[in-house]
Amino acid sequence: MARLSAAEAVFNVLRTEIESGKLGVGAKLSSEATLAQQYGVSRSVVREALRSCTALGLTVTKTGRGTFVVANRVAKDLVLGQYSARDLTEARPHIEVPAAGLAAERRSAEELSMLREIVAAMSGEDDPEVWVGLDSSFHALIARASRNKVFENVVADIRDALAHQSETLNMVADRQHASDEEHRRILAAIEAGDAATARIAMSQHLHAVGIALDSILNA
Amino acid sequence: MARLSAAEAVFNVLRTEIESGKLGVGAKLSSEATLAQQYGVSRSVVREALRSCTALGLTVTKTGRGTFVVANRVAKDLVLGQYSARDLTEARPHIEVPAAGLAAERRSAEELSMLREIVAAMSGEDDPEVWVGLDSSFHALIARASRNKVFENVVADIRDALAHQSETLNMVADRQHASDEEHRRILAAIEAGDAATARIAMSQHLHAVGIALDSILNA
DNA sequence: AGCGTGAACCTGTCAGACAGCCGGACAGCA
DNA sequence: TGCTGTCCGGCTGTCTGACAGGTTCACGCT
């Protein structure tokens, strides 16, 4: 392994802390001076490390206020173009349905309990913005539980794109309770380790969401 | 537009010069001191801008020597984890099969003729490395012809990953002629605009390739 | 020709300084 | 009470100057 410069070392630490979720989105990092003292380096070094994080879209730094985490992974917008609504509704079933099947077979106990928590939290959630965030986590976690990095990455991508689409929020209000029920069915199948049922439940869920989206787009 | 800090401004200039090709891969940037004088800022500002470029994988900086351009666009490796062989064989059918179906319905005349050329070139190709490159183009072009950016991006990623896997080349020798025939069948279905047949042909092709890959991995 | 050596240049890091921005505390005013 | 203006402390943005250590190359010696 190549010897790292101090700046690279600090950058790696910060990046790891952000991507691992130890520093959640919205969290405020310590001040540059504090970090410098903490890691035993000068402020220049810390600043260069923070710049690297910012270049990757992980953080934003606001003059006079501090540095804040805005993403826990490198945004693909850096590399890839935006997806259209049609792209998403068309592609999602082909990816999320098999991912749900695999998740039923491969999910860990830990993932299962996280899924349960998410579904429970969504039932009692009124704020659409928060609900959308939970929904995103639900689908992303299923993809991760599929133990297939292709699915995991694509779903993360798709959820990112959805979160940036204004239509998403409009749709949520109507579909929220119906989706809660569909999510519960998906969860039940994954809990039971029943891949076929998980695929069917996910398929129906996406189909229902797709129809809801279509009716908004054509209105 | 938000007012840019000096460091951001310098970073944008450098990034643009690199991505536009004005500074080609392998080119050496001016020294930090020179750049500082050139843009009328301090060396700290230049260093932070260079760090940003490095974080995006555009440049590398070598102590005592200088900073060099190593890529003219942000590398996908930054964003994507490595895929395992299992990840790929498992995920590909779910993505490339529907993509082939859409391609049959949506391909342009231009794409069609490019696909024909690729298939023709593969038939007469002996060099496995070149053949793999053509194969990659074939699949990537079909994904593009699907007119769905999700599929297009995922397939591009998958082909990238395959190209970096050593198993790929080993497999090619045995499968080359069989694959040529399968490619011709896929092409014929896309030419005919027959989505169902295109999906079947692609499915059979990937299945055959998957089996070939498995036999290598388990050897 | 071969070799060693030092000067020149470059990056890596540090310390200190100052301006400008921001949020909150606080006092004064209606 | 409730609003407002002011001030202070903390933070980022930038600059300057300095020194250590890596790299290159030409000069001069053998």
Give tens-digit pLDDT for A99-132.
999 999 999 999 999 999 999 988 877 777 778 8
Q: Which pLDDT score, from 0 to 100, does residue B219 have?
A: 47
Q: Identify the pLDDT of residue A172.
A: 63
Using a CB–CB cutoff of 8 Å, tell me whether B202 touches chain A: no
- Residue of chain A whose Cα is closest to the Cα of B82: A149
pLDDT of residue B74: 77
pLDDT tens-digit readout, B82-130: 688 788 889 999 999 999 999 999 999 999 999 999 999 888 777 777 7
Query: Which of A14, A63, A72, A150 best tests the B interface by mutation, with the highest count of B CBs <10 A?
Result: A150
Residue numbers in A near B43 (CB within 8 A)? none
Q: Which long-range contacts (CB under 8 A, 24 or more apart) does B81-85 make?
A: B81/A149, B81/A153, B82/A149, B82/B161, B83/A149, B83/A150, B83/B157, B83/B158, B83/B161, B84/A149, B85/B165, B85/B167, B85/B213, B85/B217
Q: Is the pLDDT of residue B136 over 60?
A: yes
CA of A64 to C1' of C29 (A): 30
φ, ψ of residue A194 in degrees (nearest 5): -95, 95
Whether the ipTM is more than 0.85: the answer is no
Q: What local confidence, expressed as pLDDT, does residue A98 receive?
A: 95
Closest CA to A60 of A29, A37, A36, A34: A29
Is the CB of B62 less than 7 A from some atom of nucleic acid strand D? yes
Q: What's the confidence (pLDDT) of residue B172?
A: 62
Please write the tens of the pLDDT for every residue from B16-58.
999 888 888 888 999 999 999 999 999 999 999 999 999 998 9
How many Å apart are CA A88 and CA A155, to the nearest integer?
10
User: Which positions 29-48 of B are in contact with A (Cβ < 8 Å)?
Assistant: 44, 47-48
pLDDT, residue A83, reads 79
CA B186 to chain centre: 22
Give A56's Cβ-side CA count (13 Å radius).
28
Cα separation, B63 vs B24, in Å, equals 21
Mean pLDDT computed over every residue of chain A: 86
List of chain B residues whose C-beta atoms are within 8 Å of the C-beta of residue A54: 52
Please report which residue ranges of B77-165 form alpha helices under DSSP H.
Answer: 85-106, 109-123, 128-145, 149-163
Task: Please check whether strand D approaches the CB of B26 to within 7 Å.
Answer: no
- Nearest CB to B88 within list A83, A84, A150: A150
pLDDT over 60 (residue B81):
no
Is the minimum CB–CB distance between B158 and chain A shorter than 8 Å?
Answer: yes
For chain A, which domains are there? 6-69 (1.10.10.10), 78-217 (1.20.120.530)
Which residue of chain A has the CA closest to B53? A55
- Asked whether residue B65's C-beta has any atom of DNA/RNA strand C within 7 A, the reply is yes
Residues of chain A with C-beta less than 8 angstroms from the C-beta of B51:
7, 48-49, 51-52, 55
Which residues of B are less than 8 Å from A148 in CB distance?
86-87, 90-91
What is the tens place of the pLDDT at every residue in B176-185? 788 899 999 9
Name the CA radius of gyration of chain A, rounded: 20
Backbone phi and psi for residue A61, each to the nearest 5 degrees, phi listed first: -115, 125
Quickly state the pLDDT bin for B173 (edges 50, 70, 90): low
CB atoms under 10 Å from CB of A177, counted, come to 10
Helix (H, G, I), strand (E, B) or coil at B138: helix
What pLDDT, on a 0 to 100 scale, did the predictor assign at position B203?
A: 94
Q: What is the pLDDT of residue A80?
A: 55
The minimum CA-CA distance between B76 and chain A, rounded to whole Å, is 7
Subunit contact A86:B148, Cβ cutoff 8 A: yes
pLDDT at B5 over 80: yes
Q: What is the mean pLDDT of residues B6-16?
A: 92
Decide if pLDDT at B159 tops 90.
no
pLDDT above 60: residue B73: yes
Whether any strand D atom is under 7 angstroms from the Cβ of B31: the reply reads no
- Across the interface, do A95 and B95 touch by the CB < 8 Å criterion? yes
Cβ atoms B141, B118 nearer than 8 A: yes
**Record: contact B150-A83, CB cut-off 8 A:** yes
Q: Is the CB of B33 under 7 A from strand C?
A: yes
Evaluate if residue B174 carries a pLDDT over 80.
Answer: no
Those residues of chain A that have pLDDT short of 50 are 219
Contact B60, B54 (CB under 8 A): yes
